[in-house]
Structure 1
Amino acid sequence: MKHQEIRADYDNKTITVYQAYNKNIALPAIKNNRFEKPFSFNRMTWIKPSYLWLMERSNWANKSNQEYILGIKIKRECWEKALAMGILTHPDKDIYSSGIDWEKMFDQAKVHIQWDPERTLKGGKLQERSIQVGISRFLIEEYNDNWIEEIVDMTPLTKKIYQLRKQGKYTEAKRLLPKERIYPVSKSIETSLGIK
């Protein structure tokens, strides 16, 4: 039984996705609400609406080149456009008629979709799987120029939660987490991405 769902911090207009970078990329992005070099516009960039998943990936902003946590508010219609264009990173038999069909679609896709185990505050794996969305180099300038409404520096909050977590103050730490809830999508997107 799959438990794939999109959980996110969102409002009527935007959804917040997370990325981790070094200061050379992060600081100009925070200042200008846009990415600029040395951010790479020539390869896929992965955005994630699960804060705790990124915490696991970046080790709470302690990994090299992932010292800054960015909360990137993008327009909901752009997020949904990406989901509608997305092709899974594996040939799910419930979605694709054959591995050959999937391979053709995957090779041409401008957006890749991957499902990974959601994480707890303590870092444990959950049964639920959380979405990662890969924006390809064919879409990345549009993402940067038109999708982004605001880039928020989540690093101070991350450090605060990390310290509480180290001290075993999980109840206090949990109160500070972004308020993520199920993100509603159309039936066609549910079907194409295997949301169950």
Structure 2
Amino acid sequence: MTWVKPSFLWMMYRCGWGTEENQETVLAVDITRDGFEWALRRACLSHYAEVLHADRGTWRDQVREAPARVQWDPERDLRLQPLPHRSLQLGLVGEAARLYADEWIVSVTDVTALARTVHAHVRDGELDAARGLLPGERPYPVRDGTLDHLMR
């Protein structure tokens, strides 16, 4: 499984600013909107949610068959502390992973130096300087109903 993590700071939390073993290189991967939404429409939650699933067996069947999984994890601030809102993490397997690798990727950019520079500013208490270097992020507009099966 490969995971798409649309949040820069969540990714910094996950890879320890590019310092975790075997995670020393940080890549920004741009993918097509069509591909991202294809995966969202076919995704299931990575965990059982009583309000969304008839029962645990039905959910297990969905997880087994779905080409994508969604987790909602707490967004992170510059100090990588959890915020009260969540960011989507999109796991891709099987057909979705193949489409991601072969069709959806538009560009790949090494942002390791950026991660280290932002981290240095945070370590030095220069939060405004760090904030000014963050990639622009905004809420992702989805068509009505696209996420209904993934949240309540």
User: Please, what TM-score do these two structures have when normalized by structure 1?
Assistant: 0.75
**1:145-156 alignment runs, 5 A limit:** 145-156=102-113
Q: Say whether the 8 Å CA contact 2:76–2:82 is kept in structure 1.
A: yes
Q: In the TM superposition, what is the alpha-carbon distance from 1:145 to its structure 2 partner? A: 1.1
Aligned partner of 2:141 among 184, 187, 191: 184
What residue is the counterpart of 1:52 in the other structure? Answer: 9
The answer to whether the Cα contact below 8 Å between 1:110 and 1:139 also exists between their aligned partners in 2 is yes
How many pairs are equivalent?
152
Q: Distance in 2 between matches of 1:179 and 1:78?
A: 21
% of aligned pairs identical? 36
Aligned to 2:98: 141
Q: Which residue of 2 aligns with 1:13?
A: none
Do 1:78 and 1:147's aligned partners in 2 also have CA atoms closer than 8 Å? Answer: yes
1:60-71 matches, cutoff 5 A: 60-71=17-28
Q: Secondary structure at the match of 1:187?
A: coil
2:147 corresponds to 1:193: no
The residue type paired with residue 64 of structure 1 is E
Structure 1: runs of 5+ lacking an equivalent = 1-43
User: Which aligned runs of 4 or more in structure 1 are off by greater than 3 angstroms?
Assistant: none
Q: Which runs of 5+ in 2 are unaligned?
A: none
Structure 2 equivalent of residue 86 of structure 1: 43
TM-score by length of 2: 0.95
Query: Contact (CA 8 Å) 1:111, 1:134: kept in 2 or not?
Result: yes
Contact (CA 8 Å) 1:95, 1:191: kept in 2 or not? no
Partner in structure 1 of residue 122 of structure 2: 165
Q: Does the 8 Å CA contact 1:161/1:173 hold for their aligned counterparts?
A: yes
Task: Report the secondary structure of 2:136's partner residue.
Answer: coil
**CA offset digits 1:67-118 (Å, max 9, x no partner):** 1110000000100001001000112122222222111111111101111111
Cα distance in structure 2, aligned partners of 1:190 and 1:145: 25
